[in-house]
Amino acid sequence: MHRFLIVIEKAENNYSAYSPDLPGCVATGANREEVEELMHEAIEIHVRGLVEDGMPVPRSHSSASYVIVQE
């Protein structure tokens, strides 16, 4: 089992997502739920392709946190 961080960004008319640990693995969707689902599928396909090609699956080293800044 592998666990990867995804970053979801709101664009003007849609959402996009990527994983810092899987360069080139991205997805876009009409809303947050859709982009999460599509990103999950994209990661599964990406990892399956790496395994089929005999390449190592990267270890996840990314993390995320919020920084609070007072005005």
CA dihedral 59, 47, 27, 10 (to 10 degrees): -20
| pLDDT confidence bin for 53, thresholds 50/70/90 | very high
Q: Are 26 and 42 in contact (CB under 8 A)?
A: yes
Per-residue pLDDT of 16-41, as tens digits, reads 999 999 999 999 999 999 999 999 99
Number of C-beta neighbours around residue 52 at 10 A: 8
Q: State the average pLDDT over residues 64-70.
A: 95
The reported pTM is: 0.88
Tell me what the pLDDT averaged over the chain comes to: 96
